[in-house]
Amino acid sequence: MNMSSPDPGVSFSAKASKPVFVDEGGSPAPLILYLVGAAVFVAIAIGIYQAPLLAPWTVPAAILGGTLIILGGLMSIKAAVAELLGRR
């Protein structure tokens, strides 16, 4: 068995694969909105748990986080519908 020559039936590629969340010509914007919205929600949960009366920013932050998550979802739905209809 010769270890210096690879099997001719096996090919290796040095190219890096694309991230799963970005399709051909797609945008990672929905994922970014989801992650930012989730981070805002986690910050809200920590703020409410630590000091509910000392954190007046929690209500605006909850509205902002929810809005970002909804926008990410709408962008994903729009991209899915465009893909189904054959448009980009």
Encode pLDDT of 8-36 as tens digits.
Answer: 655 545 555 544 455 455 666 677 777 77
Mean pLDDT calculated for residue range 45-70: 71
pTM of the predicted structure, to 2 decimals = 0.43
Tell me the residue type at 80: A
Mean pLDDT calculated for residue range 35-51: 72
Asked whether residue 38 carries a pLDDT value surpassing 70, the answer given is yes
Task: Give the separation between CA 36 and CA 43, rounded to whole angstroms.
Answer: 11
The percentage of residues in the chain with a pLDDT greater than 90, rounded to a whole number, is 0
Task: Give the separation between CA 12 and CA 18, rounded to whole angstroms.
Answer: 16
Domain boundaries, the chain: 29-84
What pLDDT is recorded for position 80?
Answer: 74
Query: Which tops the pLDDT comparison, 19 or 66?
Result: 66
- Backbone angles phi and psi of 4, in degrees to 5: -80, -20
